[in-house]
Structure 1
Amino acid sequence: MTAAFMDLVDVTIVNIAIPSIRQNAGASFSQIQWITAGYALAFAAGLITGGRLGDIHGRKRLFLLGIAGFTAASALCGFAANPEMLVASRILQGGMAAMMVPQVLSIVHATFPAHERGKVFGLFGAIVGLGAVSGPLLGALLTEWNLFGLEWRPIFLINLPVGIVALLLGRRYITESRAPKALRLDLVGVALVTLGLLMLLYPLTRGHELGWPLWGYLSMAGAVAVFAALVAYERRKAARDGSPLIELSLFRVKSFAAGIAVQTVFGVALGIFFLVWTLYMQIGLGWRPLRAGLTGVPFSLAVSTAAGLSVQKLVPRFGRKVLQAGALVMGAGVLVYIGEAHRYGLAISSWQMMLPLAVMGAGMGLIVAPLTDAVLSEVPREHAGSASGLINTVQQMGNALGLGLVSVVFFGVIDDRLTRTQVGPAFAHAFQHALWWVAGIMGVIFLLMFALPARPAQHIEGAADESGEGGADGAVGGAEGPAGGKGATARGAGELVH
């Protein structure tokens, strides 16, 4: 739980401190994007690998290595001498999180009998909610207080005591476990996934700053070829030894393929929104970090409330319609926000943002909580672990892609040479422009959801239980990454609140 909390807080805490990092560290806008996108990309690329390494070499061992590495990377972030070192340290931190996080629910599954896991997942959900709300506030307070004159650095250094305590307690209390029939690690698949993502995201992030050079377009086109090579290689590897990095047969299941598309596109929308929202409030409107952090509280509370209602009350009665209603409600909240931002201009207050943020949060809560079960409901039970890991991975990939697109939909409409008086109006206009993109994406998500099953079966935990304690494929949080069912739902909600 300590590790899960640390990971969730670390992502939410950074967004609120981004303007301070830009001002005090002298980071360019593209470097600011990479401080967030680099973490998300490394996390996405490493999730499947981290989960499989835990099954092969022992979940406790990988968990402790991940905690130690994450804590060390946090120290490097906190003491970064320049923006380049901070970006590199954040990429390392994301890689360590990918080693640490998949083990959390795998260890829960291996440690607790089936009848006790419901209580543990309930606690996990509470930790997720606490991390989602406390991260922005903690980031705002640490930035405002400027402890010891360190400016933004304490947002990373706070991980050091927490990580050391988690490492000591983990060594003493966690018992070792591994999958009895763990698959071999597909190193070629890992390399192809990482290369393809870098070839796609790097030009998107740096393109505006560099004037969209020809090599950027060639790189993005080449990424398509790399992903095609990945599919061909994974198909051959599955036929040869049955241990591909990605189980391609899952995409023959209509609801799973549609759900993967929904997760990816949803991640893109949220990757765009949360970064431009922070820049809009703190640079465009000139708000202090604490005010910006407090403004986001209604959003987080609405997500938590709607998520609980959707799983317990609404989905059992209305099925897929709840998720589609969530997409429409969130899209409506975005449109209200555009209207409020246009109406009040630079004089807009936190109170005037409360309604659109609460509506957006409610819509998001209706989506994130039941989506994982809806996607997995028609997946064969022996592939539940593989499928849930892939869902979490594409969610992170979508987030990283959204962060890369910020250079197009936000910075692309801002003049490179602004006077002090032009900054506010330019950022306010760019924010509204980016929100139109987010609203359009929510419409696409609504249409994609028609391919989800009308009545998703809530069977993922049962599938894990039937497959036996610690099985490689059926286990909650099995070889492929974070847990399916309630565990993945809880973590997915927390990640998306970022």
Structure 2
Amino acid sequence: MNSTEPLVDSSALTADRRRWFALAIVMTAAFMDLVDVTIVNIAIPSIQQDAGASFSQIQWITAGYALAFAAGLITGGRLGDIHGRKRLFLVGIGGFTIASALCGFAANPEMLVASRILQGGMAAMMVPQVLSIVHATFPAHERGKVFGLFGAVVGLGAVSGPLLGALLTEWNLFGLEWRPIFLINLPVGIAGLILGRRFIAESKAPKALKLDLVGVALVILGLLMLLYPLTRGRELGWPLWGYVSMAGAFVVFAALVAYERRKAARDGSPLIELSLFRVKSFAAGIAVQTVFGVALGIFFLVWTLYMQVGLGWSPLRAGLTGVPFSIAVSAAAGLSVQQLVPRFGRKVLQAGALVMGAGVLLYIWESDRYGMSIASWQMALPLVVMGLGMGLIVAPLTDAVLSDVPREHSGSASGLINTVQQMGNALGLGLVSVVFFGTIGDDLRPADTGPAFVNGFQHALVWVAAVMGVIFLLMFALPGRPAQHVEGGDGRLPAGEREAALVG
């Protein structure tokens, strides 16, 4: 044999195949989580009608997932660092699959809410490991290609989720009504669990921090004290204990800050890195993410109820009506990161807030003008305008928020950004009781239901437009020229994963 002839290392080829299999598995899990949120939204009216759920229960079907996901995100990431990313990923995807089965076979609304909370908690174990596994598996020079694939998966999930939910609900497979939207996760989750055990390599943080259980408990307690009375208050006639609980939530959050400060000084492993809030752009960005989450939480639930309960549309028609919005978000997100933000900086994000606000106002005007006779094609223009505005915000926002954050804290900061966005989403879903159901009278006659829901939709959208104005003003505190993400540099979330975390 010629000594100059290159030798093929079969073990290297096997390792190369294994890491691409591992990538496909974690991308499928991220896609499953993303689709699960959008697929449920479109089926909410069908769940309410078939399962006999109250309005507060349908809020908790979505808000419970977001709350559990938010409360567990930082904890899930920390547990992966301590006990192994592969191990936590497998626990997460296995638990998510079991929770999906419990959702699909839920005997009553209470069981469905509890199963959705479990599902959100398991997603919080699974999703943070995705980025960590990619970083541990792929060298820096290949991550750009990998995260490009993530972006494509996110775009596909954003478009396919509502359509898949609409089709599964409309088809009523085996007479199961809405249940297949959860049961479809079972074969995917089982395959991910089996293949993940074989192909994903284990990795841990070299110096993992300790888990802050007290911090986790205070976060969950504070959020429950705020959200539970907010969601149930209207139904129960706004009792005094509800106001006391909501006021007490802020006391709990103050106690959380005090405890985290002491823990940081004692052993350097707080759940929340409070020093980050001394960075002006980060503090403002956290506020933007939270408020933006509130707007999205309000809009998507109210929009679904407006189309299906108010206008009486089928799930399929509602799902198809949302396609222009999803396409506009994906198109604007790619354009903003690649071309606009490098040239115009923060102004792109502020333009996004104004454009999205303008789309909301246009939607209010069209809904008022056409009333119950509004057609899907008439909604296309405001939805495209809203989608373009949202796309200009979601993709570059995290890089803008992280621009001035010290490199050693970028991982903690990214996790906190995703967490507060989910918390804002849960808060927005809770506020639906006030801004939407609060304008709709109880015990409506069938003839009054449509007009009441149309009026409630318009009222809720006024709040969403006001929130976009607040976001525009908060964005003045962001850096004028946000630093762009450089792969292999600081561990920030790539655009595709950021969008997945946002929607999820």
**Which bin holds the TM-score, normalised by the shorter protein?**
over 0.9
* Distance apart, 1:493 and its partner CA: 2.4
The equivalent position to 1:327 in structure 2, one of 334, 348, 353, is 353
Equivalent AA in structure 1 for residue 259 of structure 2: Y
The equivalent position to 1:423 in structure 2, one of 434, 444, 449, is 449
Which of the pair has more CA radius of gyration?
2
State yes or no: 1:392 paired with 2:418.
yes
Do 1:41 and 1:397's aligned partners in 2 also have CA atoms closer than 8 Å? yes
Distance change in 2, residues 1:495/1:59 (3 Å):
closer
Equivalent AA in structure 1 for residue 39 of structure 2: I
Give the corresponding residue for 1:187: 213
Do 2:422 and 2:502's aligned partners in 1 also have CA atoms closer than 8 Å? no
Unaligned residue ranges in structure 1 (runs of 5+): 465-475, 477-483
Give the Cα–Cα distance (whole angstroms) in 2 for the partners of residues 495 and 254 of structure 1. Answer: 23
Give the corresponding residue for 2:99: 73
State yes or no: 1:10 paired with 2:16.
no
* Distance apart, 1:461 and its partner CA: 3.5
Do 2:141 and 2:487's aligned partners in 1 also have CA atoms closer than 8 Å? no
Give the corresponding residue for 2:493: 485
Do 2:289 and 2:417's aligned partners in 1 also have CA atoms closer than 8 Å? yes
* Distance apart, 1:168 and its partner CA: 1.2
CA deviations on 1:451-489 (whole Å, 9 max, x unpaired) are 00000112463433xxxxxxxxxxx3xxxxxxx231xx3
* Distance apart, 1:169 and its partner CA: 1.2
How many residues are aligned here?
478
State yes or no: 1:294 paired with 2:294.
no
Do 1:376 and 1:460's aligned partners in 2 also have CA atoms closer than 8 Å? no
Q: After TM superposition, list the pairs within 5 Å mapping 1:204-215 onto structure 2.
A: 204-215=230-241
2:487 alignment partner, SS class:
helix
The equivalent position to 1:113 in structure 2, one of 139, 146, 150, is 139
* Distance apart, 1:6 and its partner CA: 0.4
Equivalent AA in structure 1 for residue 454 of structure 2: A
* Distance apart, 1:335 and its partner CA: 0.3
Q: After TM superposition, list the pairs within 5 Å mapping 1:6-45 onto structure 2.
A: 6-45=32-71
Give the corresponding residue for 1:467: none
Q: After TM superposition, list the pairs within 5 Å mapping 1:341-360 onto structure 2.
A: 341-360=367-386
Give the Cα–Cα distance (whole angstroms) in 2 for the partners of residues 431 and 102 of structure 1. Answer: 35
The equivalent position to 2:400 in structure 1, one of 363, 374, 377, is 374
Do 1:384 and 1:463's aligned partners in 2 also have CA atoms closer than 8 Å? no
Give the Cα–Cα distance (whole angstroms) in 2 for the partners of residues 24 and 490 of structure 1. Answer: 36
Give the Cα–Cα distance (whole angstroms) in 2 for the partners of residues 411 and 329 of structure 1. Answer: 27
Give the Cα–Cα distance (whole angstroms) in 1 for the partners of residues 370 and 58 of structure 2. Answer: 28
Give the Cα–Cα distance (whole angstroms) in 2 for the partners of residues 497 and 174 of structure 1. Answer: 25
1:210 alignment partner, SS class:
coil
Do 2:169 and 2:178's aligned partners in 1 also have CA atoms closer than 8 Å? yes
Do 2:143 and 2:488's aligned partners in 1 also have CA atoms closer than 8 Å? no
Give the Cα–Cα distance (whole angstroms) in 2 for the partners of residues 283 and 394 of structure 1. Answer: 30
Give the Cα–Cα distance (whole angstroms) in 1 for the partners of residues 245 and 407 of structure 2. Answer: 38
State yes or no: 1:61 paired with 2:87.
yes
Equivalent AA in structure 2 for residue 493 of structure 1: E
Give the Cα–Cα distance (whole angstroms) in 2 for the partners of residues 392 and 490 of structure 1. Answer: 13
Give the Cα–Cα distance (whole angstroms) in 1 for the partners of residues 293 and 272 of structure 2. Answer: 20
2:234 alignment partner, SS class:
helix
Do 1:365 and 1:493's aligned partners in 2 also have CA atoms closer than 8 Å? no
Give the Cα–Cα distance (whole angstroms) in 1 for the partners of residues 79 and 465 of structure 2. Answer: 39
Give the Cα–Cα distance (whole angstroms) in 2 for the partners of residues 247 and 277 of structure 1. Answer: 36
Give the Cα–Cα distance (whole angstroms) in 1 for the partners of residues 317 and 438 of structure 2. Answer: 27
Give the corresponding residue for 2:189: 163
Give the Cα–Cα distance (whole angstroms) in 2 for the partners of residues 398 and 192 of structure 1. Answer: 17
* Distance apart, 1:490 and its partner CA: 1.9
Give the Cα–Cα distance (whole angstroms) in 2 for the partners of residues 113 and 497 of structure 1. Answer: 27
Give the corresponding residue for 2:6: none
Do 2:37 and 2:503's aligned partners in 1 also have CA atoms closer than 8 Å? no
Give the Cα–Cα distance (whole angstroms) in 1 for the partners of residues 488 and 399 of structure 2. Answer: 12
CA deviations on 1:241-282 (whole Å, 9 max, x unpaired) are 000000000000000000000000000000000000000000
Do 1:270 and 1:496's aligned partners in 2 also have CA atoms closer than 8 Å? no
The equivalent position to 1:243 in structure 2, one of 254, 258, 269, is 269
Tell me the percent identity.
86
1:463 alignment partner, SS class:
coil
CA deviations on 1:2-41 (whole Å, 9 max, x unpaired) are 1000000100000100011001100000000000000000
Do 2:325 and 2:386's aligned partners in 1 also have CA atoms closer than 8 Å? yes
CA deviations on 1:48-90 (whole Å, 9 max, x unpaired) are 0000000000000000000000000000000000000000000
When the two structures are superposed, what TM-score results if normalisation uses the length of structure 2? 0.94
Give the corresponding residue for 2:460: 434
Equivalent AA in structure 2 for residue 356 of structure 1: P
Do 2:34 and 2:503's aligned partners in 1 also have CA atoms closer than 8 Å? no
- The Cα RMSD (Å) is 0.8
Give the Cα–Cα distance (whole angstroms) in 1 for the partners of residues 480 and 254 of structure 2. Answer: 32
Give the corresponding residue for 1:468: none
Do 2:272 and 2:416's aligned partners in 1 also have CA atoms closer than 8 Å? yes
